[in-house]
Structure 1
Amino acid sequence: MPAPPQLIDSEKMVRLLVELHTLEARTDGSGLPLDSTRALFRQEQKKIYWQFEVTDSTFMQSYRYYATHNQDLDGIYSTVVDSLAQREARRKPADAPPEHR
């Protein structure tokens, strides 16, 4: 599969995915009914796309491209997971007890 003409570069894709996954966690934890949660997510998702100056179509084409190139998507998500973990660590107070798994 050739790269789409407006491929989102991997660094920007990481930042975009971090924001989208953070949004997903916030909306899922909102306690709203499922249909309201989905509507809120879609509304806020559009704002994120606007902030990153991409369209939903450009995002989907880029995501599909990276997904068909497994190493690319693996690398992107490795960075996304690290970024989300760092955000979570910064949110926890220093004296919070460690989580048990």
Structure 2
Amino acid sequence: MVEVLIEVHVLEAKVKKLYLSRDSSKVVYNHYEKMLFDDLGISQEQYTESLAFYVDQIDQMQGIYDQVVDSLLDRQKSGNVNSGNIN
């Protein structure tokens, strides 16, 4: 789940940097999210179910997000924030 959330947040940031209208951003995001999930070998349903599970397990979710934030900060420091192929 940590790696999935890292990549989802990177994708969200990339789409935001495109400065598209809300509707266009949603279309672009959904397209790349599907590609991301395919690359990670998960479905939208699995992602949604996992999020729903961890929302009810707040301590576990906090631990996951601690790892997500640490990893994103490490990527930022090393200049390796971008992954995937959107822009």
TM-score by length of 2: 0.87
Residue 35 of structure 1: CA displacement? Answer: 1.2
Aligned mates of 1:46, 1:36 — CA distance in 2 = 16
Partner deviation per Cα, 1:62-97 (whole Å, 9 max, x = no partner):
1111110111100000000001111111118xxxxx
Residue 52 of structure 1: CA displacement? Answer: 1.1
Partner deviation per Cα, 1:39-68 (whole Å, 9 max, x = no partner):
111000001110111111111111111110
Partner deviation per Cα, 1:11-40 (whole Å, 9 max, x = no partner):
xx1001000000000101112222111111
Matched, 1:15 2:13: no
Larger Rg, first or second structure (1 or 2)? 1
What's the secondary structure of 2:65's corresponding residue? helix
Match of residue 40 from structure 1: 28
For 2:27, the aligned partner's letter is A
Partner residue of 1:86 out of 67, 74, 86: 74
Percent identical across equivalent pairs? Answer: 29
For structure 1, the residue ranges without an aligned partner over 5 or more in a row are 1-12, 93-101
Match of residue 49 from structure 1: 37
Write out the 4+ residue segments of structure 1 that deviate beyond 2 Å after TM superposition: none
TM-score by length of 1: 0.75
Match of residue 24 from structure 1: 12
For structure 2, the residue ranges without an aligned partner over 5 or more in a row are 81-87
Say how many residue pairs are matched: 80
CA RMSD of the aligned region, Å? 1.2
Partner residue of 2:62 out of 65, 74, 93: 74
